[in-house]
Amino acid sequence: MNWHPLWLSLQVTAVATALMVAAGLPLAWLLARRRFRGATLLETLLMLPLVLPPTVVGYYLLLALGRGSPIVTWFGWRILFTWGAAAIASAVVGLPLLVQAARAAIAGVDPALEHAARTLGSSELEVLWRVTLPLARRGILAGLVLAATRALGEFGATLMVAGNIPGRTQTLPLAIYDAVQNRQYDQANALVLLMTALAFLSLWAVRRFEQPRPTRPAAAASESS
Amino acid sequence: MTYTSTECGPAQVGLSADFTVNRQAFRLHVRLEIGAEILVLFGPSGSGKTTTLNAIAGIVTPERGCITLAGQVLFRRQEGTRPVNLPARQRRVGYVFQHYALFPHLTALENVAYPLRGPARHRQAMALLERLNLTRLADRYPHELSGGQQQRVAIARALAAAPRLLLLDEPFSALDLAVRQHLQRDLAALQRELGLPVIYVTHRLEDAFAVGQRLAVMRDGEVAQIGPIEDVFRHPADAHVAGIIGIANLFRSRVIAADVGGVTLDWDGLQLVAPPQAVEVGGMATAYIRPEDVKIIYPDRPLTEAVQHNQTTGRIIENSFRPGARHLLVALPNGHEIEVRHPPSTYAPLNLQVGQEVRLALRREALVLLK
């Protein structure tokens, strides 16, 4: 049994998750809290990877990361057909799920609470850190788990930009494809079972996050001052 | 950095505000000066009271005007001067929001400690909770507190940020009468103790009497009148103000007795009983009753609780219908007139007409004595 695809997948997913948090949370906040021209356009563009065929997303990424793109000509950053490209592809495909959930969670925080924090001397960053994010935490975590799981299972776009090089860019979903092609059904069965378990656990976690937070027994509250 | 300015209002201690806010189909123009006192901002809903507070706190940006607090310019946008718009966090204006806006993820203590810094912050927060008799509730979350308790936590939290002005938006609207009166006394005491300017927004006249020293009557986005409460009541600037504050049923009467059973008043020959309270026997008192609280007695029905006291006869001299209400003006035997207001369908069996004799009762609990 070859476990390398699992470790590579976890590595790719970790980096993709970091990228999604870095890009997704500011975007979610922007869409939830600021009115600006082109907000609807931006939102639509962000959602596109949800409905486009992964090959189309992959093709765009090939253009964006390939020869002649600013990333290569300006920064000399040759990332195609490395695991880094797989991480970027996974992040782009998972991002809509995070942005959607986080935007809804942030929009659900009462703006009066943020105003109150400002009148109490908080800067915008402090308002975000001490009021908005803690109150939106459950929704953001649910979105994050969902997005990370989607990133873990990424196949099409990853194949286009990172290839399927065993030991270098072959992630778990690609390894399953190879195993089936080569009729290595023992390997395929094991990896499919693993993938299903991971997906099941993450959806389970999302449900838990989305449940309302437990309140303390009413007896404690009814005692008067 | 502190800007002191002369062209922008003289207030060195209190607040001076003169600004315009434009919203779709709504224009707010406010001019206010306030020292270390409680100013009641009174007016019907939609008259611009909350927007006024928001502009002073820095949540809403006026189109033009000037706001100074304790000699510092908080906001200025006028021709020929450098614009100033301090962010809310630098204004040191305490704000108790209408629904308190306590942070639901923090306990009462953590809420109060929110604006505080340093290792002593929890001790300082505890001292404030103690001042507002909340010590035992320090570890409760907002949803575990009653409305009155939440309100006191919100006041403690606003005070923790060492404000130079305290704004309260309808602070007592959700509370029952007993709690409200208790908190109103607390607020007045707190204001005297801290020597803070306080602006208190309400749409209920009783609240204005209970806490206020000066009254600003707002109407359609303007301050229609501002002055000591008694003055505004005795000399309303115009019929609009008189209408808003319900001047109709305001009268001077002599206190002829006061004991645990109540206060007995003599209104030029008509004896009335008000709920017990501390007043000087023999002195004059201004009394007030809302037109809704003057009831007409059905001659053929048993007396209910509401009409047991303060009965008199009268003759209807005016009868008019306005949206949702009928107004009657009734001439009393003592030479005065009293306004009666009730839903159009009430008293239909009596077939009330101008010229008709009726029996009235002034609801005892609703008879308010002004200081």
Q: Are B355 and B367 in contact (CB under 8 A)?
A: no
Say if residue B33's pLDDT is above 60.
yes
- Contact of B118 with chain A, judged by CB distance below 8 Å, is answered with no
Most confident of A19-33, B32-46, B331-345, B354-368: A19-33
Say if residue B220's pLDDT is above 70.
yes
To the nearest whole angstrom, how far is the Cα of B158 from the nearest Cα of chain A?
7
To the nearest whole angstrom, how far is the Cα of B134 from the nearest Cα of chain A?
8
Rounded CA-CA distance A206/B149 in Å is: 35
Rounded CA-CA distance B293/B341 in Å is: 8
Rounded CA-CA distance A222/A225 in Å is: 9
Of the pLDDT bands very low, low, confident and very high (cuts 50, 70, 90), residue B288 is confident
Annotated domain spans of chain A: 4-210
Say if residue A122's pLDDT is above 90.
yes
Say if residue B2's pLDDT is above 70.
no
- Contact of B147 with chain A, judged by CB distance below 8 Å, is answered with no
A143 versus B10: the higher-pLDDT residue is A143
Per cent of chain B over pLDDT 70 is: 94
For B232-267, how does the pLDDT look when each residue is reduced to its tens digit (9 = 90+)? 876 777 767 877 776 668 788 899 988 888 899 999
In this complex, which of B57, B136, B148 lies closest to A119 when CB atoms are compared?
Answer: B57
Lowest pLDDT segment from A83-92, A202-211, B60-69, B234-243: B234-243
* B94 vs A contacts (CB less than 8 Å): 119
**Structural tokens at position A216:** 């303390």
**Structural tokens at position B280:** 């000087």
What dotted CATH number matches A4-210?
Answer: 1.10.3720.10
A151 versus A79: the higher-pLDDT residue is A151
State the amino acid at position B21 in one-letter form.
V
Range A131-149 burial, b when 16+ CB lie within 10 A, else e = bbbebbebbbbbbbbbbbb
Say if residue B96's pLDDT is above 90.
yes
Q: Which residue of B has its CA nearest to A220?
A: B144
In this complex, which of A115, A131, A220 lies closest to B103 when CB atoms are compared?
Answer: A131
Return the sign of the alpha-carbon dihedral for residues B126, B127, B129, B133: positive
Of the pLDDT bands very low, low, confident and very high (cuts 50, 70, 90), residue A219 is very low
What is the model's pLDDT at position A69?
81
Lowest pLDDT segment from A20-34, A92-106, B15-29, B142-156: B15-29
Residues sharing a CB contact under 8 Å with residue B277, sequence separation 6 or more, in sequence order: B258, B263, B369
Average pLDDT over residues B94-98: 94
CA distances from B12 to A75, B16, B32, B55, B200 (A): 58, 9, 14, 19, 21
**Mean pLDDT over all residues of chain A?**
90
pTM, rounded to two decimals: 0.76
| Chain A residues with a Cβ under 8 Å from any Cβ in chain B | 110, 112-113, 115-123, 130-131, 134-135, 215-216, 220-221, 224-225
Of the pLDDT bands very low, low, confident and very high (cuts 50, 70, 90), residue A222 is very low
Q: How big is the CA angle at B290 (ends B185 and B297), to the nearest 5 degrees?
A: 125
DSSP SS3 for B56: helix
The Cβ-side half-sphere exposure at A48, using a 13 Å CA radius, reads 12
DSSP state of A132: I
Return the sign of the alpha-carbon dihedral for residues B64, B65, B67, B73: positive
- ipTM rounded to 2 decimals: 0.81
* B90 vs A contacts (CB less than 8 Å): 121
Cβ A116–B136 below 8 Å, yes or no?
no
Q: Which residue has the tokens 């009115």?
A: A35
B239 versus B59: the higher-pLDDT residue is B59
Of the pLDDT bands very low, low, confident and very high (cuts 50, 70, 90), residue A224 is very low
Query: Which of B54, B103, B166 to mutate: most A Cβ within 10 Å?
Result: B103
Cβ B114–A216 below 8 Å, yes or no?
no
Average pLDDT over residues A120-125: 95
B28-87 residues touching A, CB cutoff 8 A: 57-59, 87
In this complex, which of B57, B103, B148 lies closest to A113 when CB atoms are compared?
Answer: B103
